[in-house]
Structure formats: C-alpha cells, structure tokens
C-alpha cells in the first residue's frame, strides 16, 4: 500500500469526511484509528491529523480509489446514520476520484440491501467492473 504521504492523505480525507456533520463520533474515531493502524500509522501521528490536515495526494490506481471509496462508505455507515449531506459528499468525492457516476450511484443504492449498509467487497468490485466494461 502506497507511500507514507499517501497514507496520511487517505486518513486526512477520511477525517474530513467524518466531520461533514461537524462532529467526530467515538465510533467514527475508533474506525479511523483502526484504518490508521491497518495502514501502519501510529496513534500519535493519527491524532496529529485531527488537528492538521496532510497535503492531498491523488491515488494513482483505480483499485486504490475504489478501496478508498469503500472505506469512506464504511465510515459513513459506522454510526448507522446517513445524512443527505454525507451521501452527497461521498458521491462528489467519488466523482473527484474519477470513479464512474453510475457505479457510485449504484453502490449508494444497493447499500440499503445489506445489514448495517455494509456492501460486501465482492459486490462493490462487481459493480465497478460492470461499469468499466
């Protein structure tokens, strides 16, 4: 998985997304901390990102962008609440990443068919594959 700068950028983007509703719930913090740990970023560095954003690094591969979109989708649903502003923001982030608008829309629709709105990875991948073929 990418460089240290890419990892910090991924986390900064996720933190900003979690704060779309102007708060950071404990469940969101714990999820973000677990992502940081998975990326090899220690708690001290992660906590520093809560106060100071890391410079944006564009993820190079489509696969990395889809993984980041999935992380953001999981983050949005971690508190079991979806607000229109969060959904709109996630849609716009996906567009800014260069993901197909129709695939983004389909993911946001099918999430309601799964427990806790967690779209299984294979379903997510198949949606994006279908839109690239």
Query: For the segment 79-129, what is each residue's pLDDT rounded down to a tens digit?
Result: 877 888 999 999 999 999 999 999 999 999 999 999 989 999 999 999 999
> Which pLDDT belongs to residue 133?
66
With a CB cutoff of 8 Å and minimum separation 6, the contacts of 18 are 24, 25, 28, 29, 32, 75
Cβ atoms of 90 and 72 within 8 Å: the answer is yes
The rounded distance, in Å, linking the Cα atoms of 13 and 36 is: 12
pLDDT of residue 59 exceeding 80, the answer is yes
Count other Cβ atoms within 10 Å, centred on residue 48: 13
With a CB cutoff of 8 Å and minimum separation 6, the contacts of 131 are 100, 102, 103, 106
> Which pLDDT belongs to residue 81?
77
Domain residue extents for the chain: 4-132
The rounded distance, in Å, linking the Cα atoms of 95 and 54 is: 21
Cβ atoms of 73 and 111 within 8 Å: the answer is yes
- Identify the band that residue 1 occupies on the pLDDT scale cut at 50, 70 and 90: low
- Identify the band that residue 23 occupies on the pLDDT scale cut at 50, 70 and 90: confident
Average pLDDT of the chain is 93
* pTM of the model as a whole: 0.90
> Which pLDDT belongs to residue 32?
97
The token pair that represents 70 in the structure block: 């999935």
The rounded distance, in Å, linking the Cα atoms of 36 and 74 is: 14
């Amino acid at each position: 998985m990418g460089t240290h700068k890419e990892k910090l950028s991924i986390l900064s983007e996720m933190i900003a997304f979690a704060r779309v509703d102007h708060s950071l719930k404990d469940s969101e913090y714990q999820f973000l901390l677990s992502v940081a740990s998975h990326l090899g970023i220690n708690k001290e560095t992660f906590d520093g990102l809560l106060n100071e954003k890391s410079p944006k690094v564009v993820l190079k591969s489509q696969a990395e962008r889809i993984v980041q979109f999935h992380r953001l989708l999981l983050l949005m649903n971690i508190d079991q609440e979806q607000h229109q502003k969060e959904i709109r923001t996630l849609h716009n982030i996906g567009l800014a990443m260069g993901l197909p608008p129709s695939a983004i829309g389909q993911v946001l629709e099918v999430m309601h068919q799964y427990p806790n709105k967690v779209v299984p990875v294979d379903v997510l991948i198949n949606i994006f594959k279908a839109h690239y073929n």
